[in-house]
Amino acid sequence: MVLFLWTSPSGAQQTNRIEMRHSDLLEGKTINGEDVQELTGNVHFIQFPANGGLVKVWCDRTLRYMMQNKFELFGRVKVIRDSVTLKSNEGVYYGNQKIMEGRNGVRLERGKTLLTAMNGKYFVDEKRSLFWNNVVLVDTSSTITCDTLNYYESDTRSVATGKVHVFENSNGINIYGDSLIHIEQNKFTLVLHQPRLMRIDTTDGGSIDTMVVVSREMQSYQDSVERFIAIDSVSFVRGGMSARCGKATYYMKNDFIALQTHPIIWSGDNQITGDSIRMTMADNRIKSLWVKNRAMAITRADSSRPDRFDQLTGRELTMYFQANKLSQVDVQKNATSLYYLYDDKEPNGANKSSGDRIMIDFISGDVDRIKIIGGVQGQYLPEKMIDKHEQDYNLDGFRWYENRPVRQGVFIISR
């Protein structure tokens, strides 16, 4: 065994000093006119970067190109810099650039973070890693797979591109997209370019309930207030319920969803709109909907008469559900209803009513009782007056949307 120190003669390269610490065998040779040292058996060398810290390298065999200050590494390659350990089956260490390139299986370990891929590079001075081909990043909050990933040690930041998939460990949520920024120390994830969120739950009855959310941008916070935020062109499907809005926030621990910016919810045959909507869930089933400002609930009254819709409107509207079926509607402040009547299945006009508050009870999804409280006003609209003129009697703010989203795998399309 020969121990030696080699320093390039250039003053600019003094900071790239490589010190060989061990090898079982050393042989000299010439490859393409360049002096090369072949070191075999328990090879170990170190480098002293200008910005401090040691780079420690181990392998079974290396070819050291003297003029290039380059090392071709083979067998059980390991590189350690501060808290980072990089392992691979083979690779190249560039002494002047202070870059380690791993090939045919690469593994980076830093604390509780594990990053694997077929190929990777570690940039010593930048404290940055680049991985590509079958990339998998596992940390305390999630598992990320993608085609390419840059990992920055200083702020535990990962930037992933290409077939990105995130699995959140604590809640079983899967997020898919084309690009991602993940900061492990802040437990924050940002997914851009066609992000899609999917969660598969099992109800008390044993059936599978799948939730899918798509948007143009998606954020995940796995801190004390665990939540997901979908932004811009948001579509949501869960069981028999679907929605569209400009922004949706899903609070995981409380199973609570807040919809903002022109929200629309479809539940069964009901369409609900307002300035903002809050939806609470229990046991993977919808429990209630609370609609604030310009609240309106619309239900198609007769499938054979497509222009007839039962309507409720007010400043605030609350809908209660049991076993995923509507059980009660409570409308407060400037409450108004339009309800079509039938006599033995034959159309018989409509009732238009208003008051301070309107409460409607349902049995098996059908209206059982309507109660109007405070400042009551009512009007009966005869059949001969409204027939073929239904649109003239719709309540203020009425609009029926046909683009109800439906789930198709991990995607959402319009019905």
Q: What is the domain extent for residue 101? A: 1-9+18-110
Q: How far apart are CA 121 and CA 94, in angstroms?
A: 11
- Give the E-state strand segments of 7-98 in sequence order: 18-22, 25-31, 34-47, 55-65, 70-81, 84-94
Residue 31 CA: distances (Å) to CA of 36, 65, 103, 355:
7, 9, 22, 94
pLDDT band at 125 (very low <50, low <70, confident <90, very high): confident
Residue ending a domain, choose from 61, 81, 110: 110
Residue 223: inside a domain? no
152-191 pLDDT tens trace: 988 889 999 999 998 988 778 899 999 999 998 888 999 9
Within this chain, do residues 245 and 381 fall inside the same structural domain, yes or no? yes
Residue 46: inside a domain? yes
Residue 301: inside a domain? yes
**C-alpha gyration radius of the chain:** 32
Residue 127: inside a domain? no
Q: How far apart are CA 343 and CA 301, in angstroms?
A: 14
Asked whether the CA dihedral 265, 207, 225, 195 is positive or negative, the reply is: negative
H-only helix segments in 349-404 = 383-386
pLDDT at residue 7 greater than cutoff 50: no
Task: Kindly report the average pLDDT of the chain as a whole number.
Answer: 88
pLDDT for residue 51: 66
Beta strand 18-22 with 34-47 is: antiparallel
Closest to 243 (Cα-Cα) out of 401, 396, 408: 401
Within this chain, do residues 237 and 384 fall inside the same structural domain, yes or no? yes
CATH of the domain at 92: 2.60.450.10
Q: How far apart are CA 355 and CA 351, in angstroms?
A: 13
Residue 39: inside a domain? yes
- For the chain, first and last CA: distance in Å? 75
- 3-class SS of residue 383: helix
Asked whether the CA dihedral 382, 385, 388, 394 is positive or negative, the reply is: negative
Closest to 175 (Cα-Cα) out of 129, 222, 208, 209: 222
Cβ-based burial of 273 (10 A; exposed 0-12, middle 13-18, buried ≥19): buried
Both tokens of residue 147?
């085609």
Residue ending a domain, choose from 110, 134, 153: 110
Tokens 């006599």 correspond to 343
Within this chain, do residues 405 and 271 fall inside the same structural domain, yes or no? yes
Which one-letter DSSP state was computed for residue 223? S
361-383 pLDDT tens trace: 988 777 788 899 999 999 999 99
Residue 50 CA: distances (Å) to CA of 15, 47, 124, 331:
5, 10, 11, 71
pLDDT for residue 92: 97
Residue 77: inside a domain? yes
Which one-letter DSSP state was computed for residue 176? E
Asked whether the CA dihedral 397, 239, 215, 402 is positive or negative, the reply is: negative
Q: How far apart are CA 268 and CA 98, in angstroms?
A: 62
pLDDT band at 5 (very low <50, low <70, confident <90, very high): very low
Q: How far apart are CA 319 and CA 289, in angstroms?
A: 5
CA 191 to chain centre: 6
Closest to 251 (Cα-Cα) out of 217, 220, 209, 283: 220
pLDDT for residue 205: 58
82-111 pLDDT tens trace: 889 999 999 999 999 999 999 999 999 988
pLDDT for residue 398: 95
Residue ending a domain, choose from 72, 88, 110: 110
Tokens 């690779």 correspond to 91
pLDDT for residue 203: 57
**Number of structural domains in the chain:** 2
Residue 221: inside a domain? no
Beta-carbon contacts of 329 under 8 Å, excluding residues fewer than 6 positions away, are 297, 312, 317, 318, 319, 320, 358, 359, 360, 362
Neighbouring C-beta atoms of residue 5, cutoff 10 Å? 8
pLDDT for residue 240: 79
List residues bridging with 198 in a β-sheet: 174, 212
